[in-house]
Structure 1
Amino acid sequence: MRPLVADIDLDALRHNYQLACRCAPQSRTVAVIKADGYGHGALACAKALESQAPAFAVACIEEALTLREGGITQPVILLEGIFSADELPLVDTHGFWITVHSQWQVDALLAASPKKPIPVWLKVDSGMHRLGFAIDEAAAIWRQLSAAPSVASLHLMSHFASADSLDDGYFKQQMTRLQGLASELSAPLCLANSPATLAWPVAHGDWNRPGIMLYGSDPLEEANDITQQLQPVMTLRSAIIALRELEEGEPVGYSGRWRAPRRSRIAVVACGYGDGYDRHARDGTPVLVNGQRCAIAGKVSMDMLTVDVTDVPDVAIGSEVVLWGRASNGEVLSVDEVARYCDTISYTLLTGVLPRAPRRYYGRFA
């Protein structure tokens, strides 16, 4: 069978979740597993964390229903809320918690008659300017929801635009606005995403909601002592399927973008953009071959990519190739480093791995 596989280390996932909890011991930590667990498999990740996580968060009701159908009983928060009022009976039946960010959602909730009041997270736009009520209108909405029989517990939430940045000016502006509103309403807070969980204790609220850090990616512009403890959860692993000897000056791949600077040995690897590997990977993008760093040479194809292995003497057909993650010898290639060579971020690489690359789960909770 084709050797490409995405190995998912569920012990590493649990380690990263516990690290998030240790960052904010006074907070409860929601595990964000939207987008199919950032490409890792939402249900498998939820099963691995269900003994520890008090709640999970997803983007939409389809993702939440997948968890319920798989036996997950914890609260599941819909981070974008409902997309139409006719979702509310499902919210009621399955005990989901919802985010409310727009007036039409408020109106739908106030008009509903659920069997049980629904826990609500009121989203405030503190500066991201994406979803949420303006700061100056949030208090009135809060009081309206507080008096509604269809609403159970209320939390105040927002999202930071620049918690990952070394320049903390805008983050501090958002925090100041949120602290003032929370004080006025005596509201419990949920503010901290992964970067705020890792770097900004001032943002730790009643709940935190880390996402990308759970999967071993460092979201900060500059690593700190905590991010260096993150462990990679996904290893995208394949093998060499062909080897070629090239003379100096010979081209490789479409358009001949890469030309051999010397007599070179080129390995063909079973992985391409048809599997979700980024076609924008530049020449020099690192991979691990038998645990040794090598570099992509030439454009990524749909089913294959090519690697310069001239300096790896023991390479052979079947040799292990790690596109990111942990090699068999323990060497790690960070998905964050690969993403920089592709002019993107780890989120797009991890969520972009297609079903054609089967997930293989291991660890104590596989």
Structure 2
Amino acid sequence: MKRAASIQLHPEALRHNLAVARRLAPGVPMWSVVKAEGYGHGLLWTAEALAGATDGLAVSQVGEARVLREAGFGGPLLVLQGPRDAAETRACHELGLEPAIHEVAQLDHLDAASVRLPSVWVKLNTGMNRLGFDPLDAEAVARRLGAAGHGGVGLHWMTHLACADEPEHPLNAHQLERFGSVVASLPGQASVANSAALFAGWGRAPGLGSARACWARPGIMLYGAHPASVPPEAPPEGPQADLRPAMTVQAPIIAIQPLEPGSTVGYGATWTAAAPGRAGIVAMGYADGYPRHAPSGTPVRVGDRLCPLIGRVSMDMLAVDLSGVADARVGDRATLWGEGLPVERVARAAGTISYELLTRVADRLQPVR
């Protein structure tokens, strides 16, 4: 059933943001990361918007890659979590995928599948302790893959930085040094840079030299949000990095309630009016993907003004203080995030990150095309 709230998608913003990524790492090819339904924007919509602009797409799982192939995407596809069994390994071969191999069980799947994968990425765990082989095992992994006939077109290397959104964090230097010291003596291409690492200047993996072929993996920045999550004082927002939102979430004002001093709003009467005013009731709630824990004061845009959320978020409604917007009327549309209201600002107020807000609305709201 169609909800009152809706999403406006901006394909030109995706392409603009990819161009920003290219400026951060000139000459470095880009895996545009479209996992999690294109960060909530829609897998196929995102792939179509980036077609002809990106060097390749990166997904989490083989199933996502299959959807893209069946939809006609013929470009390079990187599978970040790699195959989970022999059947998915055979699918990597049939669909022409480039899987990331990160554990011994996957090497066993390659043997059981009885196929040879032309291009393989090996993920090394340099300190994030999530996915990846110990760097000390890199040469042994390369020998096993080579002996089985994999990587004939290319055997490549990647790692993931745990603290790239804090460039001065000492773990970054440690991870980059570990990765560089191992990969420098191995053939193939390399990849370390997600969105945060691109902004830190690490699109071309430090320590590997300017001649080493590298790929970057921009994700959140493609959708218009800055990757920094815990900077010390003034957190950057997408527009400050010339990023444009690819999603604008809006919902109509369906009622306006007059308020007198002492009036309360919403469940639990957690907000009390200190002066005469008006409460605008917006048809957007936690069933639509808006964070229930967003506190009073979280910004909502009405017209050209930012209005504070007041009271608790309900299942399919929330209230905003319209005291400063005298001309607001029932039927006007409020912007929850997007053009005119960076998603990072809403996420910070709600104590979360932009990634969560963008992906929460996937499959809940109807896109307006």
Letter in 1 for 2:166: S
**Structure 1 residue 76: Cα displacement:** 1.2
What is aligned with 1:349? 357
**Structure 1 residue 181: Cα displacement:** 0.7
Q: CA deviation digits over 1:225-284, x for unaligned, max 9?
A: 995211111100111000000111111111111111111200000100000000010100
Letter in 2 for 1:146: G
Could you tell me how far apart the structure 2 residues matched to 1:166 and 1:207 are?
19
- TM-score when scaled to structure 2? 0.92
Letter in 2 for 1:84: D
Letter in 1 for 2:157: L
What is aligned with 1:183? 184
**Structure 1 residue 314: Cα displacement:** 0.4
**Structure 1 residue 110: Cα displacement:** 3.1
Could you tell me how far apart the structure 1 residues matched to 2:298 and 2:270 are?
14
Contact 1:190 1:206 in 2 (8 A): yes
Residues 54-63 or 220-229, more deviating: 220-229
Contact 2:237 2:342 in 1 (8 A): no
Q: Secondary structure at the match of 1:66?
A: helix
Contact 1:78 1:96 in 2 (8 A): yes
Residues 202-211 or 7-16, more deviating: 202-211
Q: CA deviation digits over 1:147-182, x for unaligned, max 9?
A: 321433111000000000153311011111111011
What is aligned with 2:272? 259
Aligned 1:70-219 pairs, distance under 5 A: 70-114=71-115, 117-152=117-152, 153-201=154-202, 203-204=204-205, 206-219=214-227
Check if 1:306 corresponds to 2:314. no
Letter in 2 for 1:282: P
Of 330, 348, 355, 1:340 maps to 348
The answer for unaligned runs of 5 or more in structure 1 is: 327-331, 362-366
Letter in 2 for 1:265: R
Letter in 2 for 1:93: E
Aligned length: 355
What is aligned with 1:364? none
What is aligned with 2:208? none
Q: Secondary structure at the match of 1:122?
A: strand
Could you tell me how far apart the structure 1 residues matched to 2:240 and 2:118 are?
36
Check if 1:29 corresponds to 2:30. yes
Could you tell me how far apart the structure 2 residues matched to 1:300 and 1:202 are?
40
What is aligned with 1:329? none
- TM-score when scaled to structure 1? 0.93
Aligned-residue CA RMSD (Å): 1.7
Judged with a 3 Å threshold, the aligned counterparts in structure 2 of structure 1 residues 5 and 225 are, in CA distance, closer, same or farther, namely: closer
Judged with a 3 Å threshold, the aligned counterparts in structure 2 of structure 1 residues 88 and 45 are, in CA distance, closer, same or farther, namely: same
Identity %, equivalent residues: 41
**Structure 1 residue 117: Cα displacement:** 2.9
Of 310, 317, 337, 1:324 maps to 337
What is aligned with 1:50? 51
